[in-house]
Amino acid sequence: MQGLDFPRLCATESVARSAELIADAWEKGGAVSTELVLRTAAGEKIPVEVSTRVVEVEKQPAIILYVRDIRERLRLLRIIEEKNQQLIESIQYARRLQVAALPSLVQMQALFPHSFLLYLPRDIVSGDFYWIAQKGSKRFLAVGDCTGHGVPGAMMVMLSLAFLNQALYDVAEPTPGRLLTYLHQGLCSVFTTEGIRDGADVIMLMQEGESLTWTSANRPLWWFAREEGFQELKGDRAPLGGSTDKDYVWSDRDIPLQSTARLFLATDGYADQFGGPERRKLTTGRFKRLLAETALLPLAEQEKALRTFFHSWQGEMEQIDDILVVGVEVGTT
């Protein structure tokens, strides 16, 4: 192979690119690099990385080519790609399991006919969840935001759903406060041995006839009524799980509605999203104003308006958290 021009060392598919490499090096007068395929005398093809340097040899410009065999690097990259693909397929299957564990919109609207759901996971699986249940004349709706997102958050979601479903059977007279306390104690018991302080922020609503009761761990309750405008009630400033004392008890609270109103249960992902013309955080204040401005729309149209605004606000910026907003219209006589 000694004495051959460099292009003649290249495999057929790399000849043109090798000529471009040399031309680029002359034009730029410096370092240029690319990947090519060389051919040995025996016809074996070897992928290489070629970089250039322009120097003077006997007062004449010359190009030095540095060639490095990259077969091992490419082999490792293929292994990484295969592992990544296996991981993605595994997470996608986990998503199927998580979606199956969450109620569908049809199921939610069977218990709460006048409602909407805006659910936008940041990753393939989500750390936000919603839960519905019925026991006797009581109907329950909960929205939760577990520590983390992606796979860790999704594992917390599945654990939280399991505890809530079990609580419905174990608690003789379930109320939002009793169910959240049960969930809290369950999470604490699981994580005690490992010293994990992860948990969840959850808001829960119970409707029994025209009676409305709620409780919350770190999430506010918002509602809008024509006569009263936009209203807010603060939840307990205590998350479920390891960072709160295991013996903490959540109490039930009545919702002081005077007329038909639209209630909103949401995690913090929507308000925390960065975007807009100045690429700033949306903020809770702007999110509340958006809820109030769209509260007179039909439920499906409000959900569409919230979804459209979010994507417009986000623009090309990365979604930073899971998004979950539930709206429920309730009436009193």
pLDDT, greater one: 192 or 281: 281
Tell me: pLDDT of 325 over 90: yes
Tell me: pLDDT of 56 over 80: no
Return d(Cα 175, Cα 205) in angstroms, integer: 9
Return d(Cα 321, Cα 267) in angstroms, integer: 10
Q: According to the model, what pLDDT value does residue 324 have?
A: 98
Task: Tell me which fold the domain 6-73 belongs to.
Answer: Beta-Lactamase (3.30.450)
Return d(Cα 126, Cα 170) in angstroms, integer: 27
CB contact set of 264 (below 8 Å; sequence gap of 6+): 221, 222, 223, 224, 291, 325, 326, 327
**% pLDDT > 90, the chain:** 67
Return d(Cα 17, Cα 33) in angstroms, integer: 11
Residue 333 banded pLDDT, cuts 50, 70, 90: very low
Per-residue model confidence as pLDDT tens digits over 102-112:
999 999 999 99
Per-residue model confidence as pLDDT tens digits over 75-87:
999 999 999 999 9
Contact 230, 288 (CB under 8 A): yes
CA distances from 206 to 28, 66, 167, 306, 330 (A): 71, 72, 14, 25, 11
Return d(Cα 45, Cα 36) in angstroms, integer: 10
> Span 42-64, mean pLDDT?
81
Tell me: pLDDT of 310 over 90: yes
Q: According to the model, what pLDDT value does residue 85 have?
A: 93
Q: Best-predicted range by mean pLDDT among 24-33, 224-233, 295-304?
A: 295-304
Domain 89-330 indexed as CATH 3.40.30.10: no
Count of other CB atoms within 10 angstroms of residue 231: 16
> Span 297-310, mean pLDDT?
98
> Span 6-25, mean pLDDT?
80
Domain residue spans of the chain: 6-73, 89-330
Torsion angle of the four alpha carbons 11, 15, 21, 26, in this order, in degrees rounded to the nearest 10: 130
Q: Where are the alpha helices (DSSP H) in 214-298?
A: 269-272, 284-294
Contact 202, 217 (CB under 8 A): yes
- State the pTM of this model: 0.82
Contact 228, 258 (CB under 8 A): yes
Report angle CA 180, 164, 331 to the nearest 5 degrees. 70
Q: According to the model, what pLDDT value does residue 216 have?
A: 97
CB contact set of 163 (below 8 Å; sequence gap of 6+): 182, 183, 186, 187
Per-residue model confidence as pLDDT tens digits over 110-162:
999 999 999 999 999 999 999 999 999 999 999 999 988 888 899 999 999 99
> Span 194-216, mean pLDDT?
90
Tell me: pLDDT of 4 over 70: no
Q: According to the model, what pLDDT value does residue 194 have?
A: 62
Q: According to the model, what pLDDT value does residue 144 have?
A: 97
